[in-house]
Amino acid sequence: MNYDFALNTRYDKSAYEALAEASWQLFRKPRMQTQTYPILIALAALTLFVLIRGRGRYSPPVLIGAGLFVVLLLASIPLSGRSAKAKMCRTAVKAATSRGEFPVDIQFSFGRESIRSKVGEQVSMVKYEQATGFAALGEWRFLFFGQAAYIFHTSAFASPEESVRFRTYIEEKSGTALVTLKGTGPQR
């Protein structure tokens, strides 16, 4: 079979850390911002409103406790992101380890109609139209298929020019534009 691109990559801890960061930015953070953050901010605002309205009626321990509650609510927003990304990475590494696939070397071949991936003797094919997203985080590239993703580091490409050709190729084949995420991701 004829292929336009062939890449070898390794899914190790840094690859899963990069995927956790990309997934957080693309999917989980927006969900947290629309569902959870407004509730936390509303609780903090309500607590502050009650404290300000009832000035002088509360004892110092109640004021200190309420102040700590507000700080905890607002601190939970950035802390939840950090812990969620770490948990995503741990879960992916644990699942791959339990299957005996950690770290795993994968060979990708990009043909006219589909992408062929090979892990050991196991081969699978995915059509380009199944791609739901294409993202970059520093030197990392991700081709998403629903909740799954193919992970590539730019070191898998023979040259920067090949990386640019690959980007154009994937954008044309999948119909999805590359989304550049904030940050650099883990170093390989």
Give the pLDDT score at 1.
60
Give the pLDDT score at 30.
58
CB-based contacts of 176-179 (< 8 A; 24+ apart in sequence): 176/131, 176/132, 176/133, 176/134, 177/134, 178/134, 178/135, 178/136, 178/141, 179/26, 179/133, 179/134, 179/135, 179/136
pLDDT, one tens digit per residue, over 68-92 is 988 888 888 778 778 888 888 899 8
Mean pLDDT for the stretch of residues 10-19: 95
Mean pLDDT for the stretch of residues 117-138: 95
Q: Percent of the chain scored above 90 by pLDDT?
A: 53
The structure's pTM equals 0.77
